[in-house]
Amino acid sequence: MFALQSEYKFGLVKNVIGALFAGAGNVSNGFGRINISNAKLAGGAGLRVGLSKKEEINLRLDYGKNSEGGGELYFMIMEAF
């Protein structure tokens, strides 16, 4: 198995942050059999609205799309990590 993820955040206006993210990964039944050319790809963009700077609480609204044509809208409170 391998997995790569990256996220870039940037300020838009007070308490609002934009985010771009991307990921790639694949699984196999042995380390020597990993085929990077068959990796599953995904990426998207989102907004973070700061509710509490002290507690680091954000509202998150993200849209992600994968290389197989699927896409999802996510709404969360807090950060993934």
Residue with the two structure tokens 């771009």 = 20
Nearest to 63 by CA among 23, 24, 20, 29: 20
| Helices vs strands, H then E, count in the chain | 0, 5
pLDDT of residue 61: 94
Dihedral-angle region of residue 15 (phi above 0 means left; psi in -120 to 50 means alpha; beta otherwise): left
pLDDT of residue 20: 97
Residue bearing the bigger pLDDT, 29 or 25 = 25
Distance CA 10, CA 73 (A): 20
* 31-80 per-position pLDDT tens digit: 777 777 788 999 999 999 998 877 778 899 999 999 888 899 999 997 66
Please give the average per-residue pLDDT across 17-43, as a whole number.
86
> Residue 29: pLDDT above 90?
no
> Residue 81: pLDDT above 60?
no
Nearest to 77 by CA among 61, 51, 58, 62: 58
